[in-house]
Amino acid sequence: MSIHTITNWRFIDQTTFGPTFSPLISFATDDTLCTSVGESVSEPVIRTWIHHHTVVLGIQDSRLPFINDGVAYLQKYGYEAIVRNSGGLAVVLDDGILNISLIFKEDKQISINNGYDAMYELIKTMFADKTTRIEAREIVGSYCPGTYDLSIDGKKFAGISQRRVRGGVAVQIYLCVKGSGSERAALIKQFYDIAVNESETKFTYPVIIPNTMASLNELLGLNLTIPDVMIRLLKTIKHNSSITIQQTQLLTEELPLFETNLMRMKKRNEEFV
C-alpha cells in the first residue's frame, strides 16, 4: 500500500465547512467511502477536514467513571464532545488542526502497518524541505498515544489511526499545524483528571504531560496556514504528471449509505449522552 502506486485519486475537501460541520458527518463519510472504495465504486480517496472546538472521545473514554463531569468541563470551555466509531482515546480538534484521510481498497496480503507507513511517508515527504527529523514512535505523556505518533525532537504533533470497513481502509491523521500543542494537551489532562477522579478503572488511561505536544509551527518556527499544508499535500500526491486528482463530494449513489452511517453515529452519541 503506497500513495506512489496510485495514479487516480478522488479528492474531497471539507476544510471550509465552518463551525456547524459536525464530526459525526466526518466519521459517517469515511465509513461510506471505505465501502465505496472497497466495492470498487470509487477510486481511492483523499479527504481533508476540519472541525471546530471538538473533543473526539474513544469508546473507552465513554466508560470513564465520572464521564459526565468530564464532558461538562469540556463544554464549559466551549468544546463539544462526541464518541467516534473506532478505537483510540480522546483527541482535540480545532481550526488549527488539519485532518487527512487516505482511503484505499483493502489488500489482505498487506499488513495493518502498511497503512500507517503510507501516511507516515506522506507526511515526511510533505515537509522534507523543512525538516528530516520527523519520527514515528509512541510519545509517552501525549494524549491518545500510539506506535505511530509523529514527533519532532520528542514532541508529538500528529497521531495516526486506521479503520477497516467492507473491503476499504481509512488511514486518518490529525495534524496539529498551528496553535499551542501543550494547551490542547492540558485540556485533555484536566478532562481525564475530572472524569477519572482518582477512581480505579479497568482500562489504563494516559498520564498526560502537556509539554510533550506541540504544533508544527511551534516545532519548526514557521507560520504555516491550513491552505499552505493543503498545497503541500496535493503537490506530494501529484508527484508526477501521470497522476490525476478529481475533486468531488459524495456521489449520488453513496448518499443512502451515508445517511445510514450518519444515523448510526447519531444513535451511538445519543446513548452516550
* pLDDT per residue of the chain (273 residues) written in tens, 0 to 9: 567 678 899 999 999 999 999 999 999 999 999 999 999 999 999 999 999 999 999 988 998 999 999 999 999 999 999 998 777 899 999 999 999 999 998 877 666 778 899 999 999 999 999 999 999 999 999 999 999 999 999 999 999 998 888 888 999 999 999 999 999 999 999 999 999 988 888 888 889 999 999 999 999 999 999 999 999 999 999 887 788 999 999 999 999 999 999 999 999 898 766
Pairing of strands 134-136, 97-105: unpaired
**CA–CA separation, 96 vs 203, rounded Å?**
30
Catalytic residue (choose from 144, 213, 214, 262): 144
- The answer to whether the beta carbons of residues 48 and 13 sit under 8 Å apart is yes
Catalytic annotation on 34?
no
Q: What CATH code would you report for 3-272? A: 3.30.930.10
Long-range contacts, 170-173 (Cβ 8 Å, 24+): 170/30, 170/31, 170/33, 170/34, 170/101, 170/102, 170/103, 171/101, 171/102, 171/103, 171/104, 171/115, 171/116, 171/118, 171/119, 172/30, 172/99, 172/100, 172/101, 173/99, 173/100, 173/119, 173/123
